[in-house]
Amino acid sequence: MISKLCNKIFGEAINDYHIHNNIDQPIQNTYRISSIEHLLYLKCWIDTVQWHMEDVVRNPEINPAEGLQWKRRIDASNQERTDVVEYIDSYFLEEYKEIKPKPEAKINSESPAWVIDRLSILALKVYHMKEETLRSDATAEHRSLCTQKLNILLTQQTDLSNSLDELLLDIANGDKYMKVYKQMKMYNDPSLNPVLYNTNNG
């Protein structure tokens, strides 16, 4: 089941990051570059680094200039994240290219890679919520509330994992088919963002 592989590798990436817990530490992705494992590790590493950048930028006392620098790094990270999602979908398109959809086959609202994207973020939520349940400096009430939230996240993780496996099984059986739309983000494109092209023309 692909979800089992995803959750395993996401756990590895998150744990590897927190060995040093440094936003600028180099990634150590030991999986073969052309493999799905490599893409999954890369995906979750990007998410993990961005998670911590989002923490930093929300400091209410951050210097505005420094905050802008962090927001630009987050923007670049979001683009990288989207690119990797598209690489993962390309992997699945190749994997199932010989499958002929049944005449009554339907398209799913999300592609497999975007479900995997959600699963990666969910793994981060589980990790950090579990940390909150173990905080010795927090109140018992806080730990109890976070334990309740953690249980909900774990249930959500199970449900989403099952949904991913069912989607790929449906694609493999021809009951559903993949149709991937490349993300057409406009705000990074100088020809599509009015602020950028008006500045350039000025």
The tens digit of pLDDT for each residue in 123-148 reads 999 999 999 999 999 999 999 999 99
Check pLDDT > 80 for residue 193: no
Per-residue pLDDT of 39-93, as tens digits, reads 999 999 999 999 999 999 999 999 999 999 999 999 999 999 999 999 999 999 9
The Cβ of residue 72 has, within 10 Å, a number of other Cβ atoms equal to: 10
CB 45 within 8 A of CB 17: yes
Total number of residues shown for the chain: 202
User: Among 52, 28, 46, which residue's Cα sits nearest to residue 131?
Assistant: 52
pLDDT category at 195 given cuts 50, 70, 90 is low
- Amino acid 190: pLDDT: 63
pTM of the complete model beyond 0.75: yes
Q: Which domain holds residue 135?
A: 2-201
Check pLDDT > 60 for residue 176: yes
Number of domains in the chain: 1
- What is the rounded CA–CA span in Å between residue 127 and residue 144? 16
Per-residue buried b or exposed e for 139-165, using 16+ beta carbons within 10 Å of the residue's own CB: eeeeeeebeeebeebeeebeebbebbb
> Can you give the three-state secondary structure of the chain, one letter per residue?
CHHHHHHHHHHHHHHHHHHHCCCCCCCCCCCCCCCHHHHHHHHHHHHHHHHHHHHHHCCCCCCHHHHHHHHHHHHHHHHHHHHHHHHHHHHHHHHCCCCCCCCCCEECCCCHHHHHHHHHHHHHHHHHHHHHHCCCCCCHHHHHHHHHHHHHHHHHHHHHHHHHHHHHHHHHHCCEECCCCCCCCCCCCCCCCHHHHHHHHC
